[in-house]
Amino acid sequence: MLIVMKPDAAEDDISYVVRRAASLGLTPHVSAQNGSVLVGLTGDKRGLALDSMAGLRGVARVQPTDHPFRLASKEFRREATIVSVGGVSIGSTQVVICAGPCSLETRGQVQQSARAVKAAGGSLLRGGAFKPRSSPYAFQGLAEGGLQLLADARQATGLPVVTEVLAPDQVPLVARYADMLQVGARNMQNYPLLHAVGETRMPVLLKRGMSSTIEELLLAAEYILSHGNPNIVLCERGIRTFETYTRNTLDINAVASLKELTHLPVFVDPSHGTGKASLVAAASRAAVAAGADGLIIEVHPEPEHAWSDGFQSLTPAELTALLTQLAPIAQAIGRSL
Ligand code: PEP
Ligand code: MN
């Protein structure tokens, strides 16, 4: 539910509405829009006679929200949210390229990858130190050692870094090294983890669960928002369908749908979305054309020797060629790369 204040509402009127909502056990979220203040109310509204709020001084109207997600909706906030990651703005006119290896493996591999991303024109470096692997026998990541390699690569190149956090108790450690916390597809509905990253106020890259609907993705974002963290970038990374030729089915519809539904920026992961290096360029071109605010792409100096996901990783030369192709597509829809 949204309380829309009159344009000339006084500070006292707004704070009275906020106190009244809090006294009813609700959490008020104040934002501004087109010269009016909005007070979004979240919490359990059962049994509360909220229509009476319409009569309070300074209130223009009380508006029920149509969506089960509220803070993430465009009703709550019409202007696009811009998330700043170490000085890189996501959600403005520039299409942001985040690239790097699936897993952080060795100092040489991380440094080479970082230099390749920088040289190709990427703005953010990715790499996993805590890896969510389907098999317990597969490489699970270098843990803090990997985070240190990532931080060293940031130091060497100036690229802010994005890395996955798998569990709530890892959040303080990962937050010490990362510029952006990644919540992976397998954890999209790990509510204690969403709560923990929500408490940090750090930028969060929230990947869509492989069997999750668009609404479930937005509700996962709502958990983070409702814990006070507005710095969320959503990521379409492909969903499970009957198709087996590709690893996942990249849902380009989700990009346009999310742009209709939410003010949060939207990334696309064409690497996990296709699972084939040969398809990454086409999927990336489609994602930029559909309005994605950025891409997260796996790249490895030697994909054939990667410790994870080499089959879907680009070489540095392929990344450079891809970014060259994407620039005119971004331009054609009024953006830059
Ligand atoms: C990843 O980006 O490294 C990853 C594991 O992706 P996802 O969570 O989308 O599978
Ligand atoms: Mn991967």
Kindly give the distance from the C-alpha atom of residue 21 to the centroid of ligand 2, in angstroms, as a whole number.
Answer: 44
**Ligand 1 lining (C-beta closer than 6 Å):** 102, 128, 132, 184-186, 207, 237, 269, 272
For the record, the structure tokens of 132 come out as: 């969510």
> How many Å apart are CA 60 and CA 7, to the nearest integer?
8
What pLDDT shows up at residue 239? 98
Kindly give the distance from the C-alpha atom of residue 298 to the centroid of ligand 2, in angstroms, as a whole number.
Answer: 7
**Which atom, in ligand 1's list, is nearest to the CA of 102?**
3
Q: For ligand 1, atom 4, which residue shows the shortest CA distance?
A: 184
Neighbours of ion ligand 2 (CB under 5 A): 102, 309
SS3 call for 84 = strand
What pLDDT shows up at residue 248? 98
Other CB atoms closer than 10 Å to residue 264's CB: what's the count?
29
Q: For ligand 1, atom 6, which residue shows the shortest CA distance?
A: 184
Q: Which of 133, 173, 167, 168 is nearest to 150 (CA)?
A: 173
DSSP 110-173: HHHHHHHHHHHT-SEEE-BSS---SSTTS----THHHHHHHHHHHHHH---EEEE--SGGGHHH
Kindly give the distance from the C-alpha atom of residue 106 to the centroid of ligand 2, in angstroms, as a whole number.
Answer: 16
What pLDDT shows up at residue 152? 98
Tens place of pLDDT per residue across the chain (337 aa): 889 999 999 999 999 999 999 999 998 888 887 788 889 888 888 887 777 888 999 999 998 776 788 899 998 888 999 999 999 999 999 999 999 999 999 999 999 999 999 999 999 999 999 999 999 999 999 999 999 999 999 999 999 999 999 999 999 999 999 999 999 999 999 999 999 999 999 999 999 999 999 999 999 999 999 999 999 999 999 999 999 999 999 999 999 999 999 999 999 999 999 999 999 999 999 999 999 999 999 999 999 999 999 999 999 999 999 999 999 999 999 999 9
**Which atom, in ligand 1's list, is nearest to the CA of 296?**
2
Pocket test for ligand 1, best of 113, 140, 240, 272 (most atoms within 8 A of CB): 272
Minimum-distance ligand to the CA of 134?
Answer: 1
What pLDDT shows up at residue 330? 98
**Which atom, in ligand 1's list, is nearest to the CA of 184?**
8
What pLDDT shows up at residue 328? 98
What structural domains does the chain harbor? 2-63 (3.30.70.1140), 83-332 (3.20.20.70)
pTM of the model: 0.91
What pLDDT shows up at residue 202? 98
**Which atom, in ligand 1's list, is nearest to the CA of 185?**
8
User: 44-69 burial by CB neighbour count: b if 16+ within 10 A, else e?
Assistant: eeeebebeebeeeebbbebeebebeb
